[in-house]
Structure 1
């Protein structure tokens, strides 16, 4: 189904890029040369003309705010609000409100669960909290490259079921400490002085990961572990291609050589790793921290994941072992295909935008 959409480059602050949905229509913004994200939107751009048509405001089914709200709010709780960009975006929202059209605002980044100062907009967020979800919040995936195409030569690597599940993890995980507790106290103080929602520590995800990894490692009778634990970011802290490629290759190898992969929130209440795992055709072990996942009203996420509430982390090894034992050899193979299919059809860039109209039934 094709939707008529409207946006306006005049409301895109100078020096900032638009939301990726608009790349096919404002081609000068299509990213190039930034590994690996330069290839995230290629297939979406190829099919975009069958999905959306840029029209006038009067003819539009939906209006797309041109800027991602994260560029207004900032990438993290430490960032200052871009007042100039905010003012321009509110002006755009007022223009749309006077037209009676439905406005869609995209909000990614560490602060994407926050309120925005625009009424009656549909907000496409990467995260919120289930206990605080608003009716106009729609959860979207974090887009990732196609692991099978980019790293596995286009051929999905299948795991045969073994007696004990192999649990993988490659990434950042830190233990709780007085230093982290002090930083958390300072974090809450900053959030209050900014008159913002009293937030969750940005270190919570790293600490929960560490707790889960320890429990899994202490239960060799239930699971085999395949962990590469880092104490600092590597992939995102250098612009040099070679070390980034090496780090990414290690990450993919760890995933391919595991049956299940641990994923937990980061600074915001969502996990990019979840979508990378699905893209690779692996089964996530998902730590639920009051999360909302995309399409949760139509997708039974517990069918695709080992679902672990954060309070159940002490029993995570038992839950993984039970999930694994309940799958036959063929069901284990089938689930890998289903995870991959779910990502490709719903959570890749082209899959998400192909189904975009389902969130906005015509009145």
Structure 2
């Protein structure tokens, strides 16, 4: 087992949503397989890994963080940090940061991307994927927020400025990012695809998130429409939001479909363990249609079917919550044994 130390004083009802995801499972669930892989120890001296218990924005000041890191490193311990939210924080390579997104070219190798931990879209975990056969044109779907109004652009700009102001005033520990009007860009890319005679599209563009649903029933209807669209199309268009990652990417994999990802210098999870070229199509903003068509033209029909099946298995075996931290266990158990 990997022995972990953390400060349990921060694991409170008020911090429930901010707890490092692994610690959340270990502290709030009883039947997780992770209990057989990780165990708590009462002191830093006894641990293999020292974990900052909550999202950095809830842990205190930068001095508090530095003190925790320094104490662990003096005792030659591995340090894990959780930097949640859209932006996340880049630290030096002496610690291991777990975060949802970031820019691959700027991240050290010790940064681990957390998948978006979604619920399984299938009611039965053992449910097999009904793969869609290859047809002449690449058929791509999308249901979601994509707007081109000035009001929406201003709203995104205001949100961006607020986030950076919080960083400047030390209310948020996160990286600065350039402004990226994701909903507007998404709208233009989807329009390009819709107009192309080389692609078959099945898009439902919404002006608001979750179709503006207010009631539980309306939200459930909107959600079902979303997953029905993924199921009906072999490809799904995936692109970053405010942060440089896509939740839809993981939902597409879990459904056994193929994500078409606009590459905005993203880093995908476990990129030294997973050959992502076998599971998704990375397209550039400039040549998106040509690259999608080229991939679809080249792939053999049997490989097209297999890719969908493999994507569901990839999510189950590496990206589902327990599976991810089981993989992380294997990576760090090897590191610990090498010391």
User: Of the candidates 206, 209, 212, which is equivalent to residue 233 of structure 1?
Assistant: 209
* Cα distance change of structure 1 residues 355 and 161 upon mapping to structure 2, 3 Å threshold: same
Aligned residues: 327
Gaps of 5+ in 1: 31-41, 73-81
Residue matched to 1:5: 4
Tell me, yes or no, if structure 1 residue 200 matches structure 2 residue 200: no
Gaps of 5+ in 2: 169-173
Scaled by the length of structure 2, the TM-score of the pair is 0.85
Cα root mean square deviation, aligned: 3.0
User: Of the candidates 54, 69, 78, which is equivalent to residue 67 of structure 1?
Assistant: 54
User: 1:34-86, CA deviations, whole angstroms, 9 ceiling, x for partnerless residues?
Assistant: xxxxxxxx9xx5311222122233221112221122xx1xxxxxxxxx58576
User: 1:332-352, CA deviations, whole angstroms, 9 ceiling, x for partnerless residues?
Assistant: 110101111111111111210
- Displacement of 1:93 after TM fit? 3.8
Tell me, yes or no, if structure 1 residue 251 matches structure 2 residue 251: no
Tell me, yes or no, if structure 1 residue 140 matches structure 2 residue 114: yes
* Kept after mapping to 1: 8 A contact 2:69/2:79: yes
* Cα distance change of structure 1 residues 161 and 182 upon mapping to structure 2, 3 Å threshold: closer
Residue matched to 1:19: 20
Does 264-273 or 160-169 show the bigger shift? Answer: 160-169
* Kept after mapping to 1: 8 A contact 2:93/2:109: no
Tell me, yes or no, if structure 1 residue 341 matches structure 2 residue 318: no
Residue matched to 1:320: 292
Scaled by the length of structure 1, the TM-score of the pair is 0.80
* Cα distance change of structure 1 residues 342 and 325 upon mapping to structure 2, 3 Å threshold: same
- Displacement of 1:354 after TM fit? 1.0
Does 208-217 or 9-18 show the bigger shift? Answer: 9-18
Instruction: Give matches, 1:19-58, under 5 Å.
Output: 19-27=20-28, 45-56=31-42, 57-58=44-45
Q: Residue 81 of structure 2: SS of its match in structure 1? A: strand
Instruction: Give matches, 1:1-363, under 5 Å.
Output: 2-12=1-11, 15-17=14-16, 18-27=19-28, 45-56=31-42, 57-69=44-56, 72=57, 84=60, 92-112=68-88, 114-115=89-90, 120-149=94-123, 154-175=127-148, 177=150, 180=153, 184=157, 187=160, 191=164, 194-195=167-168, 197-203=175-181, 205-219=182-196, 221-234=197-210, 238=214, 240-310=215-285, 312=286, 315-360=287-332, 361-362=335-336, 363=339
Q: Residue 147 of structure 1: SS of its match in structure 2? A: coil
